[in-house]
Amino acid sequence: MFMGLCVMLYNTSCKSKKEEKEEQGKLLVTSPLLMDTALVNQYVCQIRSIQHIELRAQERGYVQRIYVDEGQFVKKGQLLFQIMPKLYEAEVNRTQAEVNYSEVEYNNTKRLADSNVVAPGELKMAKAKLDKAKAELALNRTHLQFTEIRAPFDGYIDRFQVRLGSLVDEGDLLTTLSDNSKMWVYFNVPEAVYLNFKATHENEKPTVKLVMANNEVFKYPGVVETIEADFDNETGNIPFRATFPNPDGLLRHGETGNIQMDEPIKNAMIIPQKATFEILDKKYVYVVGKDNKVHSREIKIGAEMEDIYVVTSGISPDEKILLEGLRKVKENDKIAYNFEDPKSVIANLKVPAE
């Protein structure tokens, strides 16, 4: 009886080890997954200030004072440059004297007209002379104000194009001023992406991300607010404009980067990248047939995302593909396998391929 028990235990142990070995020899198989997803597209972009203007001299003269420095933040109305005002101050004083004289002359004529000593026409002539003098005074005061260059809005001063004592003519460039409180970011989008965008974002303004030149993602998202009117016939692209808040002043006019914009894909067929292999720049998978034999099949990739491919042709959703052990098999090998639900596979894609 003891011998029979030993034999039974031995047979049970051998059977268990055999089943375990068979289980270890099985490969992992899954199927493509149909689901709605979003492709993250990247576009080279140009970053521009929401306001970026040239500050130019409005009168001819020498630069008498410079009140700010290059790169300085200035407030609206702050005095930046002073063009030599002496000539315009003299003109203001001259026309002020003419206004004073014309006022005295008008008042005297009015008293005489009220007493019927002079004709009403002389009073009108005196009034016209006074109005002309006042108009000339206002014009000369405007010219004098033009010798002061003030900031039209809050912003950053760029490099000076003049120095103290420089002689400038009317219209000469002094510097530029940038309002960086918000930034306009321009990027070009292909026609197909534009059509998909319009179909999925008809009544909303989607958000986008900005990847800066150091590959860091700007911490504030932007909003696509504007699409230009026309396509570029040579490139087939149309410019988009996204607005980004810039409260920390990190972004500056003229920077470059990349825009990340999600493109929704309806009913996409998704497979893990690790289920594929490449031959001469073509992508393949191993399809497991009903006879449990593997056959290589070329597939077409419509989009690539982290760890997954969106497949456009080559396989169907009801077929099984080899997920792991691609290097362990060859064409027409018959395999034993375990099937893993594709939803579970997609959720655990950080597992390295074998």
Give CA–CA dist 183/177, Å, rounded: 14
Count other C-beta atoms under 10 Å from residue 186's C-beta.
17
pLDDT at 28: 93
Give CA–CA dist 57/64, Å, rounded: 12
- Are residue 232 and residue 290 in the same domain, yes or no? no
- Are residue 254 and residue 271 in the same domain, yes or no? no
* Average pLDDT of the segment spanning 277-285: 92
- Are residue 308 and residue 329 in the same domain, yes or no? yes
124-148 tens-digit pLDDT: 887 888 788 788 877 767 776 778 8
With 0-12 / 13-18 / 19 or more C-beta atoms within 10 angstroms meaning exposed / middle / buried, residue 16 is: exposed
**Residue 341 falls within a domain, yes or no?**
yes
- Are residue 210 and residue 245 in the same domain, yes or no? yes
**Residue 9 falls within a domain, yes or no?**
no
Most confident of the ranges 32-36, 157-161, 325-329: 157-161
- Are residue 311 and residue 339 in the same domain, yes or no? yes
Query: What CATH number does the domain containing 292 carry?
Result: 2.40.420.20
Between 333 and 263, where is the model more confident? 333
Nearest to 288 by CA among 247, 325, 343, 250: 325
- Are residue 252 and residue 325 in the same domain, yes or no? no
pLDDT at 21: 40
SS3 content of the chain, % helix, strand, coil (to 5): 30, 40, 30
**Residue 294 falls within a domain, yes or no?**
yes
Burial 209-222 (b: 16+ CB within 10 A, else e): bbeeeeeeebebeb
- Are residue 274 and residue 228 in the same domain, yes or no? no
**Could you identify the residue written with the tokens 């200030």?**
49
Would you give the end-to-end CA distance of the chain in angstroms? 49
Is 257:45 a contact under the CB 8 Å cutoff? yes
What total of structural domains would you count in the chain?
Answer: 3
Count other C-beta atoms under 10 Å from residue 317's C-beta.
13
Is 272:29 a contact under the CB 8 Å cutoff? no
Is 182:243 a contact under the CB 8 Å cutoff? yes
**Residue 314 falls within a domain, yes or no?**
yes
Chain centroid, CA 76 distance in Å? 27
Nearest to 243 by CA among 287, 179, 165, 326: 179
Query: What CATH number does the domain containing 228 carry?
Result: 2.40.30.170
Measured N-to-C along each axis, helices 120-145 and 86-114 cross at an angle, to the nearest 10 degrees, of 160
- Are residue 257 and residue 289 in the same domain, yes or no? no
89-131 tens-digit pLDDT: 667 678 788 878 778 877 887 887 777 777 778 878 878 887 8
- Are residue 316 and residue 291 in the same domain, yes or no? yes
- Which residue, 266, 290, 309, sits at the end of a domain? 266
- Are residue 247 and residue 300 in the same domain, yes or no? no
In what order do the strands lie in the sheet containing 61-66?
Answer: 148-150, 79-83, 61-66, 167-168
**Residue 8 falls within a domain, yes or no?**
no
Query: What CATH number does the domain containing 98 carry?
Result: 1.10.287.470
- CA dihedral (167, 171, 175, 180) in degrees, to 10, reads 160
pLDDT at 121: 80
- Which residue, 235, 251, 266, sits at the end of a domain? 266
DSSP 260: E
**Could you identify the residue written with the tokens 């900031």?**
151
Strand partners, 194: none
Does the structure show a pLDDT above 50 at 354?
A: no
Does the structure show a pLDDT above 90 at 81?
A: yes
Locate 118 and state its tokens: 């002079």
What is the residue range of 200's domain? 41-50+180-266
**Residue 335 falls within a domain, yes or no?**
yes
**Residue 10 falls within a domain, yes or no?**
no
Chain centroid, CA 87 distance in Å? 48
H or E segment to which residue 2 belongs: helix 2-24
Locate 322 and state its tokens: 């080899």
**Residue 310 falls within a domain, yes or no?**
yes
- Are residue 245 and residue 191 in the same domain, yes or no? yes
- Are residue 212 and residue 256 in the same domain, yes or no? yes
Does the structure show a pLDDT above 60 at 252?
A: yes
Average pLDDT, the chain: 85
Give CA–CA dist 158/151, Å, rounded: 12
Q: Which residues touch 50 (CB under 8 Å, ≥6 apart)?
A: 179, 180, 181, 182, 183, 184, 243
- Which residue, 146, 172, 188, sits at the end of a domain? 146
